[in-house]
Amino acid sequence: MEHTKKDTHASHNSLSESRFKILLLLIRMAGLQLNVKSKSMIHTIYNGILVLCFHTSMLSLWMDTFVHRHQLVELMKKIRILIGTQIATWVHFSLSYRKREVEHLIRLTDSFTWEELPTRDPDTGYLTMAGYIPLIQKVTKYITLFVTLFHCTQTTVRIILNHDMVLTSWYPFEVSGSPAYEIANITQGIASIFIICIFFGFACLNATLICVACSQLEKLRAALLDIRQTHLTSQQECGAETNKKDGEGHP
């Protein structure tokens, strides 16, 4: 009995992995081992380094904003970045706090099927909710790659040409020279990857789960319409048979 439960849980995990592979990978790259049965030591160390780099970079951003609070142009630039970091912080905290509930929600999708549903509406030609599910993952993969490559490219150019940092920030010590400059940039680079992964991973997982729920509603609607059509057909056949008998009884 115990082996049966383990096999069932393993099969459910493999099904979820195949369905939400890209989205789960992004969230795990952001330090959340979602839908994972056990954590390895490497994952624990990776998560710790990732969270430490992110919060260190965020604190330095807050300090830099405070230092330049009287310079309106610089202040507006920094607030824009701070808003993004705060969104990432809140998403990470929410997913960490509700990790079991999110995993339970993902496991619930194992009871649903949408692969057999049409991806386009036969009447309008528009994508159905079942058609959006694989499209979301494909778009997520390419958008994440594009944003990451763009960020790395422009950051590399700024570092080489202007000796800038990944994120303009303030530290209580001098970071313009080696090795502090390299360490600060590596820390901020890791924090940037964290922000990209948690933002796109969570948003697209949320959109996918909504599409899964809506696809089941579409499936239920189609089944109810089919039952209704079958019932109407049966009534028509019964009515035709009754009329035929009445006609035979009254020549």
pLDDT digit string, tens, across residues 120-147: 888 888 888 889 999 999 999 999 999 9
17 found inside a domain: yes
221 found inside a domain: yes
Total residues found in the chain within this entry: 251
243 found inside a domain: no
For residue 120, the cross-strand partners are: 127
> How is residue 31 written in tokens?
């330090």
- Proportion of the chain above pLDDT 90, given as a percent: 27
Summarize the confidence of residues 98-110 as an average pLDDT: 90
Q: What angle do CA 223, 228, 233 make, to 5 degrees?
A: 125
What is the Cα–Cα distance from 246 to 251, expressed in whole angstroms? Answer: 9
Residues 6+ apart with CB under 8 A from 176: 163
Is-contact 169 57, C-beta < 8 A?
yes
155 found inside a domain: yes
117 found inside a domain: no
> What pTM was estimated for this model as a whole?
0.79
Domain span at 15 = 2-112+123-237
Q: Cα Rg for the chain, rounded, in angstroms?
A: 27
Is-contact 165 172, C-beta < 8 A?
no
Residue 153 vs residues 11, 47, 125, 164, 166: alpha-carbon distances, Å: 41, 25, 39, 13, 11
How many structural domains does the chain have?
1
What is the Cα–Cα distance from 150 to 147, expressed in whole angstroms? Answer: 5
List, for residues 179-226, the tens digit of each pLDDT value.
Answer: 888 888 999 999 999 999 999 999 999 999 999 999 888 888 877 887
